[in-house]
Structure 1
Amino acid sequence: MKIVDVSEFYSPTGGGVRAYVEQKFKMAARLGHDLTVIAPGTENRHEPREGGRIVWLKTPQLPFDKNYRTFWGSRDVLDAIAAEKPDVLEGSSPYTGGYYAAKWRGDAVKMLFMHADPVAVYPQTLLAGKLKPETIDKLFGWYWSYLRRLNARYDGCVVAGTWLKRRFQQYGLKNIHTVPFGVERAVFRPRLRDESLRAELLAQCGLKPDAALVLNVGRFHPEKRVGMLIDAVTKAQETRPIGFYVVGDGFIRRTIAARAAKAAHIHLAGWLKDRETLARTIASADVVLHGSSAETYGFSVAEALCCGTPVVVPGTGGAADLAEPSCGETYRAGDANAAAKALVAILNRDRPTLSAAAEAIAAERIGDIESHFEKLFALYADAVAARRAEQMTGVVCCA
């Protein structure tokens, strides 16, 4: 099966999308598919990859984040699709990439993959505390209308979480398929906790081993609300010594660094690119504190549970779908005081009991990343087979 993915947010210096696409190439090769990723780049070139290739198209840089570029003009994208002759054409964003892919008039099965809820990620994050979420949804009715029109130009829409399917159905999107994400279960696994590493991480926060170690993992993006989490930890520090170890980076790093500099016992570690080190770090934390209420799935939360680490997350979004009361606490999204209260509550609970519950939830509900791609490619193969059967029926009827 020939799959072409118009991947607007793939970047060699990116985060989650880059990691996802790299796994996609590996699984395409393993399962015998041919994958082409069309991505915005600094020049026009083809890059061979195991399982396929990347077709880079020269595009302008996004003004607010030097790590990413965006498609500008449909002709190059449509020509690149035509050259590949796909069986399945995937639009991986609702922006220019997904819009241009929707314009393709070939006979490939077209799938829109919604990796996020754009209204939750941007307007609801930026206007949180000023307007109610339902009011914001109404104000952005024009955008929901655009999404419905875009969705109608595809044969199906793929999402990774049941909450996102319900939300999109609420606003009229059709033919939605849920293919849950997974994590690298061989890497993020139970019993990786390392007390010497924990002491080292707390020392980087300026604290001794008798303090609590709270961890956050993710991009420095307004959606992730890292600044709010710093405020929450600062509030919780009134009850006990707490170190906040933050793994990540992004285009608002200066803002986050300035916020952290005014707080106590905060360490900004940057990205931990070695996955084994990241897994040991997550397992050695006392709790993972998460800020985004717009997660499609919540990779860092899922990874924490697989490592047996309890979580504190907003009460809405993909992260909330994973955080059961037996292994986590939830709070009102965007509310630092509520987050602080939830953090104090979980630190007062028994860590071994929480850890056992997290492992049980992970074993029951969190699959491996390979199973995600097996299900995704199977969905695409079924759609291609159905399309070919329709075409054959049409030929027979006309014969």
Structure 2
Amino acid sequence: MKIVDVCGFYTPFGGGIRTYIEQKLRLAEQLGHDITVLAPGVRAECRVVSSSARIEFLPSPHFLLDRKYFAFADEKAVHCALDRLKPDLIEASSPWRSANYVASYPGPVPRALIMHSDPLSAHAYRWFERVAEPTSVDRAFDWFWRRLRTYGQQFDLVVSANRHLSERLITGGVANVATVPMGVEQGLFSPAHRDEDLRRDLLASCALGPDATLLIAAGRLATEKRVPMLVDAATRAGRKRPIALAIFGEGRTLPDVIRAIAGNPHVRVFAPVRDRQQFARLLASADALLHGCEAETFGMVAAEATASGLRVVAPLAGGVSDFARLTPGLGFTPLDAVDASRAILQLPVHGQAAPWTAEVRTMAEHLGQLFDHYHDLASQGASKAA
């Protein structure tokens, strides 16, 4: 099958979407499909991954809110690329302009919308969290729900990676919703990569000895990731027993994170680790993952941490809640630093914890299920967007 992914939020500088896209491209040949990712970029160019996988960049302006990203602005250019590529199925990767361009493409080509983002949870609920409940925000943002309901009619499939988001979409009247949980890169993440010397070095960087509990947080330092709240929670828990928090990431909220740390020597910020083998070793060498975002569509780093043998302390909402629930007591009320602190203190003391692992599906399994859906759609040979 020839698949074209119109991906409005790909950047080579990192992030969960890049990780997902690059794994999908690497697996394309193994799964028997030809995949082209159309992405906005600084210039027209094609990066070939294999004979059956590539990224084509279309010249586009910078995304105003983050200059590491670009934004599609030329519907005709996207449609011309689709004409040239002649896909059997078209994906859109976000419920914004790229989805509009895919929905408006003429012709009977099946198409799917992948909900790689949950804008209401990530943004609108957060903007009004001190003054309004999510149900009230939903009513105020009914224009966005109308948009999603329209996509449910224009797209043959609306894919969500977690049950929580799928339930919200279905309750909101969105049609053609399917839950297809994501997975981790096969053979990369494992408890076998644990390195006690690395763990000891990280704890020493946080001014603590090897008997302390080492928490790790990783990802973009963005407002919706709630990293200052995690710092607060770790600091509170650290008053009861030795707790270190090593944060790996970069982003626009770094000054807020530094202010939240307020000189606490047991909380440190490190540069992101982009080498995947090194990151796998880093995860396996910690004692638990600490995650703060209640708006994840899946929670890739939580899946990778689980596959690495880590327990996950995370909010009981969004995609990461599926991983927090694997160990009772480690889920906490979203936005609540006090309850997050309580959850941290449920972790076993170092040296007293039995080995812990949980089965996590692989990205090949995720894509296999997704492409089974696509094969069914292509076989039907019809699209509501025609």
Using the size of structure 2 for normalisation, the TM-score is 0.93
CA distance in structure 2 between the partners assigned to 1:304 and 1:122 by the alignment: 25
Which residue of structure 1 lines up, in the alignment, with residue 4 of structure 2?
A: 4
Q: How does 1:185-204 map to 2 (within 5 A)?
A: 185-204=186-205
Q: Secondary structure at the match of 1:152?
A: helix
Question: How is 1:21-170 mapped onto 2 (pairs within 5 angstroms)?
Answer: 21-50=21-50, 51-170=52-171
CA contact (8 A) 2:222 2:252 kept: yes
Q: What does residue 365 of structure 2 align with?
A: 371
Q: Encode CA deviations 1:268-307: one digit per residue, 9 max, x unaligned.
A: 1121122222222222212211101111121221222212
Secondary structure, aligned partner of 1:345: coil
Q: Are the equivalent residues in 1 in contact too, given 2:186–2:364 (CA < 8 A)?
A: no
Q: Is the 8 Å Cα contact of residues 280 and 308 (structure 2) preserved in structure 1?
A: yes
Matches within 5 A, 1:330-345: 330-345=331-346
* Alignment deviations for residues 342-379 of structure 1 (CA, whole Å, 9 cap, x no partner): 112224698523x42xx1xx22xx21111111221222
Identify the match of residue 386 of structure 1 among 377, 380, 386. Answer: 380
**CA distance in 2: counterparts of 1:249 and 1:344, whole angstroms:** 27
Residue matched to 1:210: 211
| CA deviation map 1:127-161 (0-9, x unaligned) | 33432222222222221111111221111111112
Q: In structure 1, the residue corresponding to 2:331 is in which secondary structure?
A: strand
Task: Name the SS of the counterpart of 2:149 in structure 1.
Answer: helix
Deviation at 1:197, TM superposition (A): 1.4
The alpha carbon displacement at 1:313 in A equals: 0.7
RMSD: 2.0
TM-score, length basis structure 1: 0.90
CA contact (8 A) 1:288 1:312 kept: yes
Within 2, Cα distance between the matches of 1:74 and 1:107?
Answer: 18
For residue 261 of structure 2, what is the aligned residue in structure 1?
A: 260
Deviations 1:103-132, CA, capped at 9 Å, x for gaps: 101221111111122101111233334322
The aligned length equals: 382
**2:313–2:330 Cα contact (<8 Å) kept:** yes
CA contact (8 A) 1:311 1:328 kept: no
Cα distance in 1 between the residues matched to 2:74 and 2:300? 33
1:367–1:109: structure 2 CA closer, same or farther, 3 Å change rule?
A: same
1 CA distance for matches of 2:140 and 2:134? 10
Shift in CA distance, 349/127, structure 1 to aligned 2, threshold 3 Å: farther
For 2:312, the equivalent position in structure 1 comes to 311
Q: Which amino acid aligns with 2:372?
A: A
Runs of at least 5 residues in structure 1 that lack an aligned partner in the other structure: 390-399
**Deviation, structure 1 residue 199:** 0.8
CA distances 1:183-239 after superposition (whole Å, capped 9, x unpaired): 124111134332221110111112222222111112111121111111111111211
Which amino acid in the other structure matches residue 52 of structure 1?
A
Structure having greater relative contact order (Cα 8 Å, sep ≥ 6): 2
Q: Give the residue type in structure 2 aligned to 1:21.
A: I
Instruction: Name the % identity.
Output: 37
What is aligned with 1:178? 179
1:284 corresponds to which residue?
285
**Distance in 1 (alpha carbons) for counterparts of 2:129 and 2:315:** 13
Per the TM alignment, residue 326 of structure 1 is displaced from its structure 2 partner at its CA by: 3.2
Structure with greater helix percent? 1
